Amino acid sequence: MKVVFLGPPGAGKGTQAAIISKAAGIPTISTGMILRDAMAQGTVLGKEAEGYVKKGELVPDDVIIGIVKERLIQPDCEKGYILDGFPRTVAQAQALDDMLPDALDTAFSFEVADSEIMARLTGRRECGACGAIYHIKNGPSAKGSACEKCDGELIQRADDKEETIRNRMDVYHRQTEPIKDYYKQRGKLVCVDASGEPERLAKELLKRLGL
């Protein structure tokens, strides 16, 4: 089972990936995670990536693609994998197909309105002391603006401010959404409703994947 999860930030891809990974016994591969691993292990490509990261520059497509390729040929990927956050551009999707012709069974597109994403992400609060995550509507702290566990102050991360989220959504619509057409033309696109409670979507995904 080789699947891609496409969707804007805050669509719940990570939550669903964790559920499917566990049920199917396959790893979730996120670009951020494997980039960090490759750099920590000091592989050739990892060192190359580190050069860009240290300069504060974006890691180029060919380096990212090389690192993904190295990861996908590891033994734990034999039964399959979930790609979360990759491909991010049509060029990356094309490159993935070129290097692994049978790379994918299905690309799931997580469909959720921008307004719902905005509410989900701007409502997040993080404990500045212990890192616990709350949500002002969907999971508030019983102690108001203090952490339930350690009484630390709850703060909104810079990533979760409205303007930052708006920018990330714009980038998604402009850069990543065209990938949907790419997979649609190849008969691999399945759009799923990612609004509302994650439990419902988890059930749908498990059913569609025969788990």
Amino acid (one-letter) located at 96: L
> For this structure, is 124 an active site residue?
yes
SS3 116: helix
Catalytic residue among 168, 180, 184, 188: 168
> For this structure, is 168 an active site residue?
yes
SS3 99: helix
Instruction: With beta carbons less than 8 A apart as the criterion, state whether 4 and 87 touch.
Output: yes
Least Å distance, CB 145 to Zn ion, is 12
Catalytic residue among 2, 88, 180, 188: 88
> For this structure, is 174 an active site residue?
no
Tokens of 202: 């988890």
Nearer to Zn ion, 114 or 148 (CB): 148
**How many whole angstroms separate alpha carbon 108 and alpha carbon 86?**
12
Least Å distance, CB 73 to Zn ion, is 40
Least Å distance, CB 189 to Zn ion, is 41
Nearer to Zn ion, 80 or 152 (CB): 152
Nearer to Zn ion, 132 or 202 (CB): 132
Nearer to Zn ion, 56 or 142 (CB): 142
> For this structure, is 36 an active site residue?
no
Contacts of 168 (CB under 8 A, 6+ apart): 8, 9
Residues found near Zn ion in the complex (CB under 5 A): 127, 129-130, 132, 147, 149-150, 152
Q: What does residue 95 show for φ and ψ, rounded to 5 degrees?
A: -65, -40
Give the largest Cα separation in the chain, rounded: 53
Least Å distance, CB 134 to Zn ion, is 9
The residues annotated with a catalytic role in the active site are: 13, 88, 124, 157, 168
